[in-house]
A and B are shown apart, each in its own frame.
Chain A
Amino acid sequence: MADIYHEIPPRFQVEIDREKCRLCERCTVNCTYDVHSFQGERIVARSENCVACQRCATMCPQGAISILPGKITFAPHYTYSDRIRRIIYEQASTGGVMLAGSGTDLPYRVIFDDLLLDAAQVTNPSIDPLRETVETVTYLGRKPDRMSVAEDDGKLIVSRGADYPNVELSTPIVVGHMSLGSISYNACLAILRAAKEVGTMVGTGEGGLHPDFYEYADVINSEVASGRFGIEPRYLKEIAAIEIKIGQGAKPGHGGHLPGEKVDAVISETRMIPKGTDALSPYPHHDIYSIEDLAQLIGALKEASRYRVPVGVKIAAVHNSAPIASGIARAGADFITLDGLRGGTGAAPRIIRDHAGIPVELAVAAVDRRLREEGIRHLVSIVAGGSIRYAADLVKVLALGADAAMVGQSALIAMGCRACQMCHLGNCSWGIATQRSDLTRRLDVDIAAQRLANVFHAWTEELREILGALGIDSVESLVGNRDRLRYVGPNPKVAEVLGVKHAGEPWSD
């Protein structure tokens, strides 16, 4: 059977400049994919193993290493592209389901890039955020239908009905759910520190919360997923918010998957499962087979958390998201997280990652519209994620109807991730998506935390700059304000679904 594996042309070509190389062997230590080795008198690179994580090239003191596109070309074929042929070769060798990490790399059109922002001119003055106040404070949670305030003889009497807990964020950016397991202890810690500094919220992912991380409880959004890993009383009581995970943009309809090899002592303690066992979450929650079951779980979690924190529900953006979101709002959720087609993952079947779901831009617009039509938009906040790459996407997704944007991949990139999409292998050479102690210590927590906080500060400042240019001095006046967007893409139907006019058309709706 040895011959059943066919050699496939390498995707990348690793070249070592022999003039520069001093044979220090640092590359052989840094590479986690078995590319570099010292063979007698020279470093030999096995290009077929390279994933272009750039670790060796970055760490080489001589700058002697280049990573280039593979030099062996396939005969050009549009239909049976290189990508398709590689998949078939791979599956012919293994007979397995292809796994992948990160979000889909297929060239689905990024609708954000087809949207342009408005700016104030003459009839409404723009605002300079360096001289004037421009606010970005955001509250996530259910709002009442109305306030009840009566004026009586020099008194204002405020009658409160049910208490709706809201989470206050200093900026409308939250970090999505990346569990301890999908990423390293150090990476989790860096994210928590950054969020604490900035004043926003971080999802735990499905893996529970490591005891050390309760120090950051006031920025933590505890995920309750179908595997129910790591759920304990304080996981629901001491934190800022709870989120039921129904689905994830990278793998709609699938549950979490953490292979046993990654379940070391730290993960075992956090997830509350024996060392070395696979942590496989069921695809659906086995106590949620319809919307009324979801309502019961929401109710149970609110009881468990003493109604102190908002309880949200995360779904993958799918074709029927709008009616589903309506059901979730009516089931009592305080916020809904929409995770789009391009959302990331630690590990997912590639076929699902690449082909299921819809872009978050369309999902947000559809959900926001539907909830308004039904008169229940105030019952839930909308959080949108799945390829919020930078501040422009943040602004646009708010204008399309989201109250806050959720980021994952960008946060990892800020900490050093090169987006090589090999998270599922657990050999992350940058110490992020791995549990190997020799690798996790490569991530300096203080530096990673500061780099991430810098990105959040930069985005918030850019958000202020854009708000000021729009003549808006507080971010809530951008939420759902599609009138300030214009479409320049090729498909008018997209603009229609987004509820956005075409560029060149004046104000109106």
Chain B
Amino acid sequence: MNGFPYRGTWDKPATPPGRLGRIGEACGIAALVNLDGRPESGARIGKMIRTMVDRENGLGAGYAAYGLFPERADLYCLQMLFDDRGALERAREFLGKIFRLDADEEIPTHPVATLSGKAPICWRFFVAPPKEADGQEDDYVMTQVFRINAELAGAFVMSSGKDMAVFKGNGWSYEIFDFYGIGDYEAPLWLAHSRFPTNSPGWWGGAHPFNILGLSIIHNGEITSYGTNRRFVEMWGYRCMLLTDSEVIAYSLDLLLRQQRLPELVACAALAPPYHFLIDEMENGGARELLREIRVNYRPAMLNGPFSIAVATNYETPTLLGMTDRKKLRPLVAATSADGNTVFLSSEECAIAILGEDATEAWAPHAGKPVIAGVGRGLVRRGTEEYFQGLEIEFSNA
């Protein structure tokens, strides 16, 4: 693989192979969630992503599955890539020191003749933080993941959440599908991503989804506010080491959703807020006031430039969230299945159409408005509602 994996240090951010810097890209995104929690194989998500052939150029693809390890749902699953056996053994020793190792196993892979170069060793560890981290398990794991990716030569953590895993690499979406045998896994929530990087040879760690703890993101776009957003999340303890704008969106959402426990609608409004003049014109006084406060307080969190994203979280239950920038400069289509049990998101309607009668009603979410659907939660938002529609807003002064 082209220089896999990159290495970084704490004082000097790592750059992808060839020091090519940050990656701008166009991409395909596809996602689905079964609202009743019924697991399904990766077949349909694979079909969705593979049909959008114009959106990739063979330089990276990936998948994420949620609700994947119900029998080990209390453990963090570190889904990792290694240069060689030596790196794997060093990592095993290191992980033993910082975590309680519950189990580990090789991630099943299958040789794909068309994949160029040497494939990495793929291994997953089920770990629990030590007792000292009680009450701050998530923060502990996050810190250790940053550390591993920065300091452990030849090792890279693809994902670090509970009951989920990311599978990604440098290749076409069908190659990565076959390499990991995505069709063999069963999960109620899937993300899939294919990539058209514009200035990078692609490398395994740089493919999507990007993950931090239980949050994974697939992203199509290029964030023009990257420098502002990056400095914002770094102020709150995140380390932007992959130098992609997708990474910075993942950290922004982790900060807002997990650390600050903001409702999804509030976090989405922080990332893609309505224009001031639209806020001024709003009739709902509570919503107007809340949006104004969000705009004032979260100025550096606002994502500028074109994007469409699909995000998966498992804070309480596997949840899928999709949205675009507030001008909708990148596409996003949503749909439900005929029985209403599955919600789909994708860059193009063809990815839903190819599922045939599996997907019927499709719609275009409005610019900057989120689609939210979760296992056991149903289709909470279609992305066509007014801001905070149907919610009563109450202000209390401490």
Give A contacts to B, CB under 8 Å. 120, 122-125, 127, 132-133, 135, 137, 139, 143-144, 146-151, 154-161, 163, 166, 372, 375, 377-378, 470-474, 476-484, 505-509
Contact = CB atoms under 8 A, between A and B. Distances in A.
Interface string B11-46: 001010000111011100000000000000000000
A398 to B, nearest CB: 10
Given A158-B393, A166-B296, A484 B227 contact: yes
Nearest to B24: A123
Interface in B295-319: 296-300, 302-306
B397 interface: yes
A476 B228 contact: yes
A473 B305 CA distance: 8
A147 B292 CA distance: 12
Contacts of B207: none
B294 A125 contact: no
A375 B233 CA distance: 10
Contacts of A157: 394, 396
Interface in B213-270: 221-222, 224-231, 234-237, 243, 260-263, 265-266
A425 B147 CA distance: 63
30 contacts: A120-B224, A127-B327, A133-B275, A143-B296, A143-B299, A149-B263, A150-B263, A151-B263, A154-B392, A156-B392, A157-B396, A158-B290, A158-B394, A160-B397, A161-B398, A471-B304, A472-B224, A472-B225, A473-B304, A476-B228, A477-B225, A477-B228, A478-B225, A483-B22, A484-B224, A505-B21, A506-B22, A508-B15, A508-B22, A509-B243
B235 A377 contact: yes
Contacts of B265: 151, 156
Contact of A147 (B228, B262, B286): B262
A472 B20 contact: no
A124 B222 CA distance: 6
Contact of A124 (B199, B224, B227, B388): B224
B198 interface: yes
B266 A149 contact: yes
Contacts of A156: 263, 265-266, 286, 290, 388, 391-394
A476 B263 contact: no
B327 A160 contact: no
Contacts of B20: 506
A272 to B, nearest CB: 36
A509 B297 CA distance: 26
B298 A481 contact: no
**Which among A132, A479, A505 has the greatest number of chain B C-beta atoms within 10 A?**
A479
9 cross-chain pairs, A with B, having the tightest CB-CB distances, nearest first: A508-B21, A477-B225, A483-B227, A477-B304, A481-B227, A476-B299, A471-B224, A123-B24, A507-B22
B297 A144 contact: yes
A147 B266 contact: yes
Interface in B344-391: 388, 390-391
A135 B279 CA distance: 13
B128 to A, nearest CB: 28
Contacts of A143: 296-297, 299
Interface in B121-137: none
Interface of B: 13, 15, 20-22, 24-26, 198-199, 221-222, 224-231, 234-237, 243, 260-263, 265-266, 275-277, 286, 290, 293-294, 296-300, 302-306, 326-327, 329, 388, 390-398
Given A132-B327, A154-B392, A508-B22, 14 more contacts: A120-B224, A133-B275, A139-B299, A147-B293, A147-B297, A148-B260, A155-B394, A156-B263, A157-B396, A378-B235, A470-B224, A471-B222, A472-B304, A481-B228
A158 B297 CA distance: 13
Nearest to A137: B276
A507 B293 contact: no
A400 to B, nearest CB: 11
B227 A147 contact: no
A160 B300 contact: no
Contacts, number: 157
A95 B20 CA distance: 62
A157 to B, nearest CB: 5
Contacts of A158: 290, 293, 393-396
A350 B191 CA distance: 66
Contacts of A132: 327
B315 to A, nearest CB: 12
A450 B266 CA distance: 41
A506 B224 CA distance: 14
Nearest to B267: A149
B230 A478 contact: no
Nearest to B229: A477
Contacts of A372: 231, 234-235
A480 B300 contact: yes
A120 B243 CA distance: 18
Contact of B230 (A139, A473, A479, A509): A509
Nearest to A399: B227
Contacts of A378: 235, 300
A465 to B, nearest CB: 15
A122 B26 CA distance: 10
A473 B327 contact: yes
A369 B199 CA distance: 28
Contacts of B243: 508-509
A477 B388 CA distance: 24
B236 A124 contact: no
B305 A124 contact: yes
A375 B300 CA distance: 13
Given A158-B293, A507-B21, A478 B392 contact: no
A146 to B, nearest CB: 4
A482 to B, nearest CB: 6
Contacts of A133: 275, 277
B260 A147 contact: yes
Contact of B294 (A147, A159, A160, A507): A147
B13 A509 contact: yes
Nearest to A507: B22
B235 A471 contact: no
Contact of A477 (B21, B294, B302): B302
Contacts of B266: 147, 149, 156
Contacts of A160: 395-398
B296 A154 contact: no
Contacts of A122: 198
B390 A154 contact: yes
Contacts of A144: 297
**Which among B13, B231, B236, B263 has the greatest number of chain A C-beta atoms within 10 A?**
B231
A155 B392 CA distance: 5
Nearest to A136: B276
A468 to B, nearest CB: 11
A476 B302 contact: yes
A476 B294 CA distance: 13
Contacts of B25: 123
A509 B396 contact: no
B291 to A, nearest CB: 11
A375 B238 CA distance: 11
Contacts of B236: 375
Given A133-B275, A482-B227, A155 B391 contact: yes
B132 to A, nearest CB: 23
A436 to B, nearest CB: 44
Nearest to B255: A146
Given A472-B304, A484-B227, A506 B199 contact: yes
A105 B394 CA distance: 57
A370 to B, nearest CB: 11
Contacts of B304: 471-474, 477
Contacts of B327: 127, 132, 473
